[in-house]
Amino acid sequence: MAVTPENVISLAASPLQYLSWVQLALSAVGALVAYQAASLVFTYWRHTRSPLRKIPGPALPHNWLTGSQHVFFDGEGMQHLDNWGKTYGGNFTLRSTLGSYQLVTTDERALTHVIFATGVFHKRTTERRGLLRLLGQGILYTEGEQHRDHRRILNPAFGYSHVRDMNDQFIEIAIKMREIWHNKCIAAGGTVQLDALSWLSKATLDSIGIAGFGYDFGALNENGVKNELYAAFERLLRVDNKPTAELRALLENLFPILRRLAPSARARETDLSKKLMDDIGMGIVQEKKKAVLANMAGSRVEKKAMGGKDILSLLIQANLAEDLPATQRLTDEEVMAEIPSFILAGHETTANSTTWALYSMSLSPDVQEKLRQEILQVGTETPSLDTLNSLPYLDNVVRETLRLHSVATFVGREAVQDDIVPFGRPVLDRDGNEHTQLKLQKGDQIIVPISLVNRSTAIWGPDADKFRPERWDSVPQGAASIPGIAPSLLSFIGGPRACIGHRFAVAEMKALLFHIVRGFKFSLAIDKSELWSRTGTLLRPQLRKDNSVQLPLLVTPIA
C-alpha cells in the first residue's frame, strides 16, 4: 500500500473508530442493564402495594428473586400445595418471582370468574415466553382474538364425530402395543417386567402423529431407529430434573436477555431442535395444503363442509374455506405451530394419565378385575367409540384417574388489567376482616390448583384421596359447581381456554385401557414406597433410588 497522507490519516483514525464502536456497545449494554434494574425496582415496589399482600400465606422465602417458586423445583409441588391448603384453607397467597403475589384459590365462584374472563386473565408472561420459544404461535400460546381464531378453526376437528372416526386408529395402535407386550411375555416364559410409561408414551406419540397430522413416528417399532421428527421432538422436550436446570429455565423466561447473551447448552440444543421441527413441520403443512387444494379444485368448499381424516387436514380445509373471513385465516406459520402443540398436548398427557390408571389398578386388584369382567363382555377386539363409552365402569375408572391424578396439577393466570374477583365464601385476611371480593392489580397472578379442587374433601368427602371409581355412580351435588369442561372435573380446565382435545384424550385412554386390561393382569414390580409422584411440567411416577421417570409393572398375559 502506497504511503499517502490519506492512508496515514485513515490508519491513525481506525483505532479511534474501533474505540467509538466499543464505547457505543458498552453504552448500549449499560443502558439495557440500567433499564432492567429500574424495571426490577419498580416491579418489586408495585408488588409491595398489591391488595393480595393482606391475604395469609407462607412467608416470603429468603430468595426474593424466585420466591416460593423454588419449592416446585424439588418435584414436590403438589405436596406443598396440599400442605398449604390444609394450613391456610381454600384461599392463600404465595410469593412468586421478584416478590410478586399469587393468589391460590379453590373457591368455585372465583375460579369461574378467572377461567371465563379470558380478556382479563391470560397465561402468565413467563409461561408464554417458554411456549413461544418451544412451540411458536399455536393454540397453546395465543391469547385474545388470535386464540379465538385458532379455536374457531380447530373446534370442528375435535368434535365428537371426528374423534369417533379416529377411534379405529387408537384401537389399532393399542392392539399393536398389546401384541408387543404379549410377545415379550412369551419370550420370558410368562410374566415380564415392563416400564408401562415408556410404552404408553410411544403408543400415544404414534396416535397423535397419525390422527393429528397423518405422520407415522414409528415409535412402537422395535428396531430402535427413531425418525428425524421423533428424535427432534424428544430433544426439544427432554426433561432435566435437576433443580439448577429448572431454576435456569425460570430465570431465562423471566429475563430473556440471559438466553440471548449467554445461552446454556440446553438452550442451544432446544433452539436447534425447534428449527429442525419447524423445517419438517412446514414440509408437512405444505404437503397437506397441496393435497387439500387438489381436492378442492373446481368446487367451492365451506368451512362447515369439511372432509379429510387427520386433524391437520381438517384444519387446513377449514382455514381455506371460502366462507371464512380473510382476517380470521391462519398463516402457514401459525398452522405449522399447531403440530408441536398437538404433540405436546396430546402425547405425554395421555400417556401419563393412562399410566396412573394402571398404577391405581395395580394397588386395587379388585378394581382391575371388575373392569376386566366388564371389558370381556364386549364381543369384539375392535370396539367403536360408542361401545367404549357405553361401558360404565371403564368410564368411572377414567374419570377417577383424571380426578385423583390430574397430570396438570395447577395452571397459572395473570391479570392483564385491574380486576375485582368475587368469592362465593368470604375470604379472611391477616387482620381478621372478611372479604366477598378482592381487587387485583395488573400483573397479579392467580393459581388454579387443579389437584386441590379435584381432591377437595368438602366436595368428595373424607375419602377424597382414595382411588374409588364407584364414587362416579353417585356424584356429590357440590361437584356440579366445578367450572370444568368435563363434568365435575377441573382436569381439562373450562371456559374459552378449556382443553380443546379432551374428547381425543379420553377416547385414546379408553382404547389403551380396553386392550391392556383385557389382555393382561398386572401389578407393581417394586414396593409402592419406592415410587413417588413428581410434580414438574406434568405429574409423573418417579423412582426414588435414581430419579428415573417410569412405572415398572409385572405383566402376565391372560390365557
Binding region for heme: 499
Q: Quick one: how far is CA 536 from the chain centroid?
A: 10
Question: Do the bridges between strand 101-105 and strand 539-543 make them parallel or antiparallel, or are there none, so unpaired?
Answer: unpaired
State the Cα–Cα distance between residues 113 and 116, nearest whole angstrom.
Answer: 5
State the Cα–Cα distance between residues 321 and 250, nearest whole angstrom.
Answer: 41
- Which of these, 118, 34, 190, 86, lies nearest to 521 by C-alpha position? 190
State the Cα–Cα distance between residues 359 and 362, nearest whole angstrom.
Answer: 5
One-letter amino acid at 72 equals: F
**Start-to-end C-alpha separation, the chain:** 91
How crowded is residue 484: how many other Cβ atoms within 10 Å of its Cβ? 23
Under 8 Å CB-to-CB from 380, ≥6 apart: which residues? Answer: 387
Instruction: Sort 509 into a burial class: Cβ within 10 Å, 0-12 / 13-18 / 19+.
Output: buried
State the Cα–Cα distance between residues 405 and 551, nearest whole angstrom.
Answer: 14
Q: Which residues carry a binding-site annotation?
A: 499
Beta-sheet strands, E only, within 167-261:
192-195
State the Cα–Cα distance between residues 367 and 211, nearest whole angstrom.
Answer: 31
Scan for cell 377416547, then name that residue.
Answer: 507
Instruction: Sort 255 into a burial class: Cβ within 10 Å, 0-12 / 13-18 / 19+.
Output: middle
Instruction: Write out the three cell numbers for 202.
Output: 410411544
How crowded is residue 515: how many other Cβ atoms within 10 Å of its Cβ? 23
Instruction: Sort 112 into a burial class: Cβ within 10 Å, 0-12 / 13-18 / 19+.
Output: middle
HEC profile for 338-349? Answer: HHHHHHHHHCHH
- Beta-ladder partners of 520: 557
State the Cα–Cα distance between residues 102 and 81, nearest whole angstrom.
Answer: 13
Please tell me what DSSP assigns to residue 432.
S
Scan for cell 380426578, then name that residue.
Answer: 403
Name the region of 214 (left: φ>0; alpha: ψ -120 to 50; beta: rest): left
Under 8 Å CB-to-CB from 244, ≥6 apart: which residues? Answer: none
What are the two backbone dihedrals, phi and then psi, of residue 21, each rounded to the nearest 5 degrees?
-65, -40
Question: Do the bridges between strand 91-95 and strand 192-195 make them parallel or antiparallel, or are there none, so unpaired?
Answer: unpaired
Q: Which SS3 state, helix, strand or coil, does residue 422 take?
A: strand
Question: Do the bridges between strand 445-448 and strand 419-428 make them parallel or antiparallel, or are there none, so unpaired?
Answer: unpaired
